[in-house]
Amino acid sequence: MSKLRSTWKAVKQAVGSKKSTEVQTDTGEPEALAATPETPEGCAEAAPAPQRAWAPRSRKSIRDEEALQKELDRCNTLKRGAENILALLAEEKTRAVKLLKDGGSGMGWADTFLAATLRKIEDEQRKLAVFTEIAAKAQSNLDSFRAAVVGYAPERVRIQNALADFAACRLEVDCELQKLLRAALAMLVVREQTIEVMERLARDIEMKCSFEAGVPASLHEALSLDIVSASKAWNAEFLGEGENLKAYVVCDENFEPKETLSRKAQCHFGETVLLLEEEAREFLRNDRPAPGGFGWECLPPTLMTAEAFAAVQAESGRSGPLLKYILQQKHSEFEQKRRAGYLEERRGTPVRNAHLGGM
């Protein structure tokens, strides 16, 4: 009990030292903590997580920055387009002025050409002014957002460490709860044995009566749960300390794994991510059906094992976009084989005509 209470006080002090503007945390001590029994064997080692570097950004933060960058790129594209048009119009203006000089002001069509060119230049200059203004605003928004991210980084680390401490504290609570569940399960067994004796005595006097009262049939199953193992596995994944984590390399444009304290929220081609094998199994497949595709079309793998990725890189001698292109070619070859097999299987099979309603 003292270990659990000391852990809770340490977490409370860490979280209460500074109030977050984004996260509201209730740090009051639970009333049930005073009645918590001693920590069972195997759970007394739990302690607040050490200070360490966690994931620097959330997925929402990354997506928000990408949206701001996309808006800035769009504004800059409009701005460059207006500048290019102005450059072309400047050449037209030069030609119009030259025509007037060569032929004199008596050429009506030359005057009209120059006047039209000047009107176009004036319109494009107004557009350029607007595009320059919105591009400057978009750049300012992006700079402000990045500055806010940098300024919030220490607070984010503090909250992340508090989360790690609470995870350690919850694991201790789960250990205590597991002990109570086992004690309750033993009492339930005694209760069931008592009911058996009562039923046997009732049969001796030919009495028909139900001795079940207040205890659902599912209680035995609920008390048999091993919550400590599940809690330890969750903590290991959440803190990035699992023994079963394996390194995988992202071979797709973008990969967004489940967010944890220690895991990067968004990974790109060539980056390494630590995952459980069962979590990565679906993303390693090269036969996932493509949405709305034909029978042979499938999605390329999102992940590769570190060994497989290194082997392809060593065999091709490429890296970066060129290596990505080689992987795409390998998947295309796989698709062609699947297509050939699919068509061979379907050969001679009647195909329904959706328009005529026949075969």
Whether the pLDDT of residue 162 is over 80: the answer is yes
Whether residue 111 has pLDDT greater than 90: no
Provide the token pair at 16.
Answer: 């209460």
Asked, for residue 293, whether it belongs to a domain, the answer is: yes
Range of the domain at 112: 59-154
Domain boundary among 154, 182, 211: 154
Residue 121, domain member (yes or no): yes
Phi, psi of 299 (to 5 degrees): -80, 145
Of 133, 154, 175, the one marking the end of a domain is 154
Task: Note the pTM of the prediction, 2 decimals.
Answer: 0.68
Domain membership of residue 33 (yes or no) is no
Read off the CATH number of the domain in which 125 is found: 1.10.287
Report the pLDDT value the prediction gives residue 233, as an integer from 0 to 100: 85
**Contacts of residue 327, Cβ cutoff 8 Å, sequence gap at least 6:** 251, 300, 312
Q: Are residues 150 and 245 both part of a single domain?
A: no
Q: Are the C-beta atoms of 184 and 223 separated by less than 8 Å? A: yes
Check residue 349 and give its pLDDT.
61
Residue 23 inside a domain? The answer is no
Q: Give yes or no for residue 64 having a pLDDT over 90.
A: yes
Q: How confident is the model at residue 44 (pLDDT cuts 50, 70, 90)?
A: very low
Q: What is the pLDDT of residue 32?
A: 45
The chain-wide mean pLDDT, for the chain, equals 81
Would you say how long the chain is, in residues? Answer: 359
pLDDT at position 302 over 80: yes
Contact 241, 143 (CB under 8 A): no
Q: Report the number of distinct structural domains present in the chain.
A: 2
Asked, for residue 11, whether it belongs to a domain, the answer is: no
In a domain, 39, yes or no: no
Last residue of a domain, one of 121, 154, 187: 154
Tell me what the mean pLDDT of segment 61-74 comes to: 95
Q: Assign 225 a pLDDT band (cuts: 50, 70, 90).
A: confident
